[in-house]
Amino acid sequence: MRKPLIAANWKMHKTIPEAVDYVKRFVPAVRNAADVDILIAPPFTAISAVAGALRTAQRADIFVAAQDVFYEEKGAYTGEVSTGMIKDAGCSFAIAGHSERRQYFHETDSLVNKKARAAVRAGLGVIICVGETLEERNTGRTFDVVKRQVSEALLEFEEADFGNIVFAYEPVWAIGTGVTATPDQAEEAHVFIRSVIKEIYGGEIAGDVRILYGGSVKPENVDEIMACPDVDGALVGGASLDPESFSRLVMFKKG
């Protein structure tokens, strides 16, 4: 059985005091959460504060992630943040290839692969994001795009690396739009992603990899999304910014 993972991506939101206040309000709300992994990805500036607040609350079991990471360990790369830096700040995960990074900062499949490999080499878990645009879906290219993204993201990985790899299916047309893929659409895409992994690494690994859904997940739809057999969790943006809302997602009702 794949343990569900519910992940909060705060994007460019929250100062350090706001982040610490969030943790203080969130932790009691999920004290009864069982059989689910929880992850919070604050902005870089708040990572250390969030990790510290979780330690103070004795919830070191809640993972902290960086929203992005660079693939070199050090060097003249102004503005970039390395795996060693985010680990030092308290991260155990990193996100690679979020649709906004691909869209606004023109990140390529090759760059996403380099970032993901750097994270795993450093002993971090990595959430690799894939997904099609509305134009690609409307022209029947969803599976072609997703297969390319998954295949290129996994270049040069070994079977032993998969304990640290999570995928997130993020249809770009559902990010921040309020539009959510139907449960059937989400399940179809997740089954396909698992089939691509199976082609490359075999059925056992494909069956073990967690695949999250990302795209306007909110309290009103989380239960039906999480009822899909191949949906192993959620990567949540806007609905994760409020601790009450995010706690409801963590405490989703199992079908």
Low-confidence residues of the chain: pLDDT under 50? none
pLDDT at 255: 66
Q: Between β-strands 210-213 and 165-169, what pairing exists: parallel, antiparallel or unpaired?
A: parallel
Which is the catalytic residue, given 100, 132, 170, 187? 170
Q: What is the pLDDT of residue 185?
A: 94
CATH classification (class only), 5-250: alpha beta
Q: How far lies 239's CA from each of 10, 152, 221, in Å?
A: 9, 30, 11
**pLDDT given at position 173:** 87
The pLDDT assigned to 251 comes to: 97
| pLDDT at residue 80, rounded to an integer | 98
Structural domain spans, the chain: 5-250
Catalytic residue at 98?
yes
Using alpha carbons, select from 82, 63, 64 the residue that is nearest to residue 72: 82
Q: Give the model confidence (pLDDT) of 16-34 as tens digits.
A: 999 999 999 999 999 999 8
- Catalytic annotation on 106? no
- Spot the catalytic one: 98, 132, 136, 187: 98
Q: What angle do CA 213, 11, 41 make, to 5 degrees?
A: 70
